[in-house]
Amino acid sequence: MVTEAIIFILRGALTVDTLPPDGDPIPGPRKRNDYCGVAGFSSSLDVSRFLYFSLRALQHRGQESAGIATYKDGKISVYKGMGLVHQVFNSSILDSLQGNVGIGHVRYSTTGGSREENAQPIHIYTTEHEIAVAHNGEIVNVKELKNFLGTMGSAFVTKSDSEVIARLLAYEITKHGVVKGLKNMILRLRGSFSLAVLIDERLFAIRDPLGIRPLALGKINGGFGVASESTAFHSLGGEFLRDVYPGEIAEITKDGIITHYVFERENKAHCMFEYVYFARADSIIDGRSVYEVRRKIGRILAREHPIKADFVVPVPDSGRAHALGYAEESGIPYAEGLMKNRYVERTFIMPSQESRVREINLKLSPVKSVIKNHKIILVDDSIVRGNTMRKIVRMLRDAGAKEVHVRIGSPPIIAPCYLGIDMKTRDQFIAAGRKIEDIAKIIGADSLGYISIEGLVKAIGLPRRDLCLGCLTGKYPIPIEGEKIRFQSDLEKF
């Protein structure tokens, strides 16, 4: 364990664009989606618009609900609702959320379901404090913690594991004070958690000791902030400073960032899927440019699975950097053979397979001058269930492709994720128990190539021991009932 007190005193600038007009929030489609993003700011200025625009920049991480909590005059005010950020908020709502410190959240449901009561931030009271919590991740010992808190008198309003975190924090700070309570909370939680926490007027950023989910610190006009990805600060005209250290409790003030505590672990477990798919390409996570990682993945993929073809075509937008790297390494021309409708949400995170397949026709259309009578290398970041890829391959064949060779920027996904990605059962995965040639037949491709685990690790540039590869290997960085833990060969060694 290491204790530090680090204060950065920096200044930045911010120019914001116009917001939706006063009146009802902009109407639009309401769809359930996957993943979460958090943000928090402390400034000499009102922070509601900082939060609004940072959540817009993090919208790719969750499109189900959005919420903001701010502190002023001795109380925390919260507004949240179902839908995209610009559908939930308008100028009048943001004007009502006054305060120089606040947190925000965009959500999808890995636990708790798609209901407004599960939207975040979670807001609760103790006898001495008001608390608001925004959480990205997933806690695997929720049942144990709920039972414990139940015996202590806690009652739960939602089914979200994030409420468990908030009530555990309330219990600990009531007994031990704020900083010691935060430390005790971290010791009790097992799983992934990147948190933005308001305790009255104090703002804290907390990342689990394995660093599974990303969390970044930055400076803005008049203050400092935290966000799930560095791109949130760029959208505000601010500056990314550094990642929150795994296991760090960082207090954010308008004058700087104070590190109260860092829990050190010998190994980390950064999620490989952040680099492959979830994070925005312009983000920097744990010192690595996501765009450059994806480009390197494409280069390695071209070396591992070469094929003669006329064009390298990405599945937009997730496969674009991978495809560019493949084209650069192979010398085969890169071409935008699929056009994307940018007003359709990410299909991986649709609530059902039926809706995912139906949305493909709305989301993508082929450029026939690129596709017709040509041999195509189709590059994407991953295949999870396989039905979406089968639909895209069929689309290219219908557009006249001679051959379609699929290349994938992650190794085969064969095991569930328990740490924040909605991949829960093995029967979801097309790669589980199948040979590569059999998967190629199912999706209708002439050939199929996945990057190797070794190739992926090389592209990310972090030691394998510091990555979570559980969905690729079936071995996890923390004990999970019925599963293997990494570095151990059998369950009996738990």
The Cα 383–Cα 436 span in angstroms is 12
Distance between CA atoms of 154 and 229, rounded to whole angstroms?
A: 33
Amino acid code (one letter) for 104 = G
35 contacts 61 by C-beta, under 8 angstroms: yes
Q: Counting beta carbons within 10 angstroms of the beta carbon of residue 212, is it exposed (0 to 12), middle (13 to 18) or buried (19 or more)?
A: buried
417 vs 413: CA distance, rounded Å: 10
Q: Evaluate whether 277 touches 259 at the Cβ level (below 8 Å).
A: no
Grouping H, G, I as helix, E, B as strand and the rest as coil, residue 316 is: coil
Residue 165 and residue 116 in contact, taking contact as beta carbons nearer than 8 Å: no
What is the rounded CA–CA span in Å between residue 39 and residue 232? 8
Give the count of beta carbons closer than 10 Å to the beta carbon of residue 287: 9
The active-site residue out of 36, 417, 468, 471 is: 36
With 0-12 / 13-18 / 19 or more C-beta atoms within 10 angstroms meaning exposed / middle / buried, residue 56 is middle
Cβ proximity of 377 and 310 under 8 Å:
no
Q: Which residue carries 């507004």 as its tokens?
A: 79
Question: Burial, 155: exposed, middle or buried (Cβ in 10 Å; 0-12, 13-18, 19+)?
Answer: exposed
In 10 A of CB 405, how many CB atoms?
22
Half-sphere exposure of residue 218: CA atoms within 13 angstroms, side-chain side: 30
DSSP string, 374-398: -EEEEEES--SSSHHHHHHHHHHHH
Q: How far apart are CA 120 and CA 36, in angstroms?
A: 10
Asked if 36 is an active-site residue, the reply is yes
Q: Residues near 494 by Cβ (< 8 Å), separated by ≥ 6?
A: 479, 485, 488
Distances (CA, A) of 164 to 191, 234, 261: 13, 32, 22
**Three-point CA angle 9, 14, 18, nearest 5°:** 155
Cβ proximity of 420 and 136 under 8 Å:
yes
Instruction: Report how far residue 454's alpha carbon sits from residue 135's, in angstroms, rounded to the nearest whole number.
Output: 31
- Which residues does the annotation mark as catalytic? 36
